[in-house]
């Protein structure tokens, strides 16, 4: 059994403005860096150690991963995997997130967008590859909202692409015997830190 700890990147200015960023390579803002540090402290306090770390090639994910690694185990090297990059949102890239966007993404009809099925296949193959390369290990994966959602929509009844996944949300999957299982989804370490 391999455990995959999937974490959405911290906040960017595009997130703050409720813009669809997709493949646009936005960095974390100051709040996002703080969120990544809080997430790292949550993981460290709860005894999480990692055998390997993977990240999307986009800056916001790489910096999230690096911030967490610096706190938990600075000796770990981040492995960049193209299969973890965010969905291409086609004609909606850069637009404000609104109800029209939610309706169209759920119904798979945004022009020139990477379609739901293609995204789900890409992400599933990527995570299987990572799990098979790391048998019986715990892997940290810093990635994006729709990469994580591409797994959750098929593993959790009622979960949709329009479901909320906050910055730095923690989602834990286990891979065993060629199948994935959700152990934890949408855990928000920032809310936990706020209430402690």
Does the annotation count 129 as an active-site position?
no
Which of 81, 86, 114, 185 is catalytic? The answer is: 86
| C-alpha angle 19-186-45 in degrees, rounded to nearest 5 | 115
The residues pairing with 184 across neighbouring beta strands, listed in sequence order, are 172
- Reduced to 3 states (helix: H, G, I; strand: E, B; else coil), residue 53 is strand
Residue that has been written with the tokens 């703050």 in this structure: 16
Decide if 167 contacts 181 (C-beta within 8 A): no
Choose the catalytic residue: 9, 144, 146, 185: 9
Q: Which two tokens stand for residue 125?
A: 């193959």
**136: annotated active-site residue:** no
Specify whether the CB–CB gap between 96 and 50 falls below 8 A.
Answer: no
Active site residues: 9, 86
């Amino acid at each position: 059994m391999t455990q995959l700890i999937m974490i959405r990147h911290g906040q960017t200015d595009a997130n703050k403005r409720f813009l669809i960023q997709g493949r646009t390579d936005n960095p974390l803002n100051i709040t996002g860096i703080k969120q990544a540090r809080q997430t790292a402290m949550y993981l460290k306090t709860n005894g999480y150690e990692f055998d390997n770390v993977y990240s999307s090639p986009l800056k916001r994910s790489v910096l999230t991963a690096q911030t967490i690694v610096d706190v938990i185990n600075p000796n770990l090297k981040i492995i960049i995997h193209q299969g973890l990059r965010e969905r291409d949102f086609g004609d909606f890239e850069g637009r404000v997130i609104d109800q029209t966007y939610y309706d169209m993404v759920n119904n798979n009809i945004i022009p020139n967008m990477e379609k739901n099925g293609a995204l789900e296949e890409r992400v599933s193959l990527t995570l299987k590859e990572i799990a098979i390369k790391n048998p019986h290990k715990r892997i940290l994966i810093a990635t994006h909202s729709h990469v994580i959602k591409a797994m959750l929509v098929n593993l959790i009844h009622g979960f949709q692409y329009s479901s909320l996944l906050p910055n730095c949300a923690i989602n834990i999957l286990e891979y065993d015997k060629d199948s994935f299982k959700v152990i934890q989804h949408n855990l928000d370490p920032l809310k936990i830190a706020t209430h402690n």
